Chains A and B, each alone.
Chain A
Amino acid sequence: MKQPAPADDSPEAEAVPRRKRKPVGWSMIFIAVLVAVSATLVYRRDGIDGVLKILTDDLWLFGEILPRVLAGCLLGALITEILPHEKVSRSLGPNSGLKGLLIGTAFGAILRGGPFTAYPVAAALLTVGADFGATIAMVVSWTLIGYGRAVAWELPILGTDFTLWRIVISLPIPILAGALGRFVYVRMYPKGEPT
């Protein structure tokens, strides 16, 4: 039996949407197994010293990342609270058309910071009414044409010519990926996202 949808004036409709927290899923179990296998291989090749060296290096990195992850989580939560959901679903929702994909692309391209910013913000947008298409455009634009990563890493390593060429070629991809995402999504879930 399907539950009737809450009426528009019910308290549920007005409450700030909460992001669902995930229990430990198959993805995490898969990673844990992969890590265990890799660590065993490292142990058999390099002995306990090899295992410990990687562990200390990565613990150090983890400690460095941790405050940024906290900032990212707070950023996501604040966006969920203060962005007007109606406006977001109008400009980034399923019916936002090409304009929504362009906004997503532009937003992803100018968004600064690392994955600890981009993914919480993208998750927050999904929560407040952006559809898969616009969010895909944003995430893809962030990884492909976001200038932060290109300037910090790609330019020095791969050189200016290659980087600019690569970015020019990548320009249409976020919009196309978002459009393809929308196209597939409405056919996969004709009745909206399953819960």
Chain B
Amino acid sequence: MTISALLIDITLWGSVLVLGLIAFRRGRVVVVSAAREGGMDFINIVPRIALGVIGSGYIAAVIPPEIITGWLGPDSGWLGVLTAVIAGGLTPGGPVVGFSIGAVALKVGGGSPQVIAYVVAWALFAFQRLILWEIPFMPARFVWFRAAVSVPFPFLAAALAMAIGKP
């Protein structure tokens, strides 16, 4: 287990403990009720997470990264931004995959605004994260709504990147 994973676990369970203590001071009933609710949520969510985690490996395996980097050509202008946004939404896998593809795209000469658009789109509405994490935990209507209102923002980020220029 890496240090950062350990830190995440400590903060996570630490927060549970702190909130649990606050709840306990309000009365035992509050803790019991929260534990029951949380436990039921967990049981309800596990099959969805299982499908997402185990399934995403297969989805990632059939979408080769070369296809995605190929779309982020240099000097591709707004068409490049558009393809970057679509590519970001379609990129499967965890944070390593998205950022690595962005890094590869930069290395092979992808334009910075396009790569920004790609990274922002991927952060906002990569379909796999929506499916794997967001839908199981949140009301589906909220998730689709949020993804839909997020659509303009990778374009805005690219426009800002073009206006500000490279650092």
Contacts and interface: CB of A to CB of B under 8 A. Distances in A.
Given A119-B138, A169-B116, A164 B167 contact: yes
A48 to B, nearest CB: 13
B49 A165 contact: no
Nearest to A30: B131
B40 interface: yes
Given A157-B100, A176-B156, A71 B12 contact: yes
A126 B124 contact: no
Interface in B117-155: 119-120, 123-124, 129, 131-140, 142, 145-146, 149-150, 152-153
Please classify how large the interface on chain B is, using the bins under 10, 10 to 19, 20 to 34, 35 or more. 35 or more
A58 B57 contact: yes
Interface in A21-63: 21-22, 25, 27-28, 30-32, 34-35, 38-39, 41-42, 50-51, 54-55, 57-59, 61-62
Interface string A89-117: 00000000000000000000000111111
Given A54-B58, A144-B120, A157-B103, A69 B145 contact: no
Contacts of A73: 38-39, 41-42, 45
Nearest to A53: B57
A161 interface: yes
Contacts, number: 245
Contacts of A112: 8, 11-12
A58 B145 CA distance: 29
A32 B51 contact: yes
B51 A28 contact: yes
Contacts of A140: 124, 146, 150, 153
Nearest to A183: B149
Contacts of B115: 162
Contacts of B140: 22, 25, 27
B94 to A, nearest CB: 8
Interface of A: 16, 18-22, 25, 27-28, 30-32, 34-35, 38-39, 41-42, 50-51, 54-55, 57-59, 61-62, 64-82, 112-117, 119-120, 122-123, 126, 132, 135-136, 139-140, 143-144, 149, 152-154, 157-159, 161-162, 164-166, 169-170, 173, 176-177, 180-181, 184-185
24 contacts: A25-B140, A35-B55, A41-B58, A41-B62, A57-B57, A59-B54, A62-B49, A62-B53, A69-B49, A71-B13, A75-B16, A78-B23, A79-B19, A80-B37, A82-B22, A82-B34, A126-B138, A132-B145, A139-B146, A153-B95, A158-B119, A162-B115, A165-B167, A169-B116
